[in-house]
Structure 1
């Protein structure tokens, strides 16, 4: 038996027809009948909006027994994957960002202009060099238009870059973090004029984007956002953010910086 340590308050209800959609070193993704995503996440990587967190040894032992496509048996109290029962967590945490009075309208350049690689634009220091890449300028322009209430279909701009969460998607999550933190995005209609996100990018990325549009973010992003007003916490928060994925952390940080620039021009 495995007892999940904690979960996101926003994770989908577990009574669904789940199947294993992907097995990775830090996450096991389950997809439901309606396309909902529930992630069993290895402890030590924070909490994602759609996740249950498992102890490291429990996660590792479960991971060894699973393959993509496995069916999941569901009961009111636990999920049964193979011969292992994963009990629903009792502790649930809100990952909704609360904008602060001081906001987060700046970040010291030394934390951004560094050598960490982004997915498409080289090291952060190069990506932030002027003039900015035309694709980044385009994203900033579209972001401003959306914040001003204009209809923007984001689908043709998503899914660009490597990984389960492509570069442009991570950029947009970072931009949404900046907008929510600074109180310039207060409703949940950011993608109202967009077509099907699921046709544009990966299901994992769609989940993060839809949560971000509602002001809900993975815990490392929240720690980073709140640390901007408490500079003694910022170095560690930036390092934790940059540790996400292969380039996801750097892409998200770049997106946050782009979002701040876009907001200043509103």
Structure 2
């Protein structure tokens, strides 16, 4: 196999790799694979998975070449210097993806219209967490999905509690206990919802000291409870707590911060299309945080 040159390297992947690092392939999917390096996980995939802090993106041709030749348990070498050899990916500094959100202190949360975002969510969203949000009868006969819905509703109800309440440390503890690790998949539904919620806190904390306090409570509890979820999700959560998110969510946060209604709608639809229900779960968390932020600001807290 020729050396594969990355089109994009997430900041987390770049920091995980030394000059040259051998990794073990731990899981392979249609559009991506995960490798375990001594310093953490790396996700390699086609451009279709989008940018992210731990993502290394290849052209479709090179991804297909890698996908057809490598198996779980084999080793993939990452290098930062030109080289030749088998199963190697060349990381280029000029391609580093390190997007973070830096909202202005007057980005206009009060005037943000959330109705259209909720409408997009209920129109294009999917999965048991959306049913849990609706609070109606179970939308599935699958026993596991019913458990996800039941615990998901408990977590969602906790996250809806007004930020003005003094017992928010307890609320954060209980919400994380209900949601972290909840659901199947690489990133369980409850984890995605928590990431979305923390991204909303990230956005609002630029204009609200209370949102910043809630953000610290949530992050502290999530980081201290990571044993509840899987290794891949743990990695994504750690980077989310540093303010680095997957591309669809980053684009939506940027559009909200810059007050671009058209871009907000487009980005919301792209987020909702992500994964089996990952985008929907993330969007639910984000909208819950934005609703809480608007409620708090309108009450003059």
| TM-score range normalised by the length of the shorter chain | 0.7 to 0.9
> What does residue 21 of structure 1 align with?
26
> What does residue 284 of structure 2 align with?
254
> What does residue 4 of structure 2 align with?
2
Long gaps (5+) in structure 2: 137-151, 206-210
Report if aligned partners of 2:76, 2:87 keep a CA contact under 8 Å in 1: no
Is 1:212 the counterpart of 2:212? The answer is: no
Report if aligned partners of 2:52, 2:97 keep a CA contact under 8 Å in 1: no
Report if aligned partners of 1:19, 1:70 keep a CA contact under 8 Å in 2: yes
TM alignment of 1:165-180, pairs within 5 A: 165-180=187-202
Structure 1 stretch displaced more, 160-169 or 15-24 = 15-24
The TM-score with structure 2 as length reference comes to 0.74
Quote the offset at 1:29 in angstroms: 0.8
Is 1:202 the counterpart of 2:222? The answer is: no
Determine the C-alpha separation between the residues in 2 that align with 1:147 and 1:40.
42
Higher-helix-fraction structure: 2
Determine the C-alpha separation between the residues in 2 that align with 1:195 and 1:145.
23
Report if aligned partners of 1:3, 1:86 keep a CA contact under 8 Å in 2: yes
Structure 1 stretch displaced more, 95-104 or 2-11 = 95-104
Is 1:44 the counterpart of 2:48? The answer is: yes
Determine the C-alpha separation between the residues in 1 that align with 2:269 and 2:222.
33
Determine the C-alpha separation between the residues in 2 that align with 1:67 and 1:40.
13
Report if aligned partners of 2:252, 2:267 keep a CA contact under 8 Å in 1: yes
2:76 to 69, 72, 88: 72
> What does residue 185 of structure 1 align with?
212
Give the secondary-structure state (helix, strand or coil) at the position aligned to 1:217.
coil
Determine the C-alpha separation between the residues in 2 that align with 1:195 and 1:247.
23
Q: From the superposition, tell whether residues 110 and 199 of structure 1 become closer, same or farther in structure 2 (CA, over 3 Å).
A: same
Please provide the CA RMSD for this pair. Answer: 3.3
Report if aligned partners of 1:241, 1:249 keep a CA contact under 8 Å in 2: yes
How many residues are matched?
262
Q: From the superposition, tell whether residues 142 and 66 of structure 1 become closer, same or farther in structure 2 (CA, over 3 Å).
A: farther
Quote the offset at 1:180 in angstroms: 0.7
Q: From the superposition, tell whether residues 144 and 18 of structure 1 become closer, same or farther in structure 2 (CA, over 3 Å).
A: farther
> What does residue 54 of structure 1 align with?
58
Determine the C-alpha separation between the residues in 2 that align with 1:32 and 1:79.
19
> What does residue 30 of structure 1 align with?
35
Is 1:110 the counterpart of 2:132? The answer is: no
Determine the C-alpha separation between the residues in 2 that align with 1:102 and 1:259.
16
Determine the C-alpha separation between the residues in 1 that align with 2:89 and 2:8.
12
The TM-score with structure 1 as length reference comes to 0.83
Report if aligned partners of 2:129, 2:189 keep a CA contact under 8 Å in 1: no
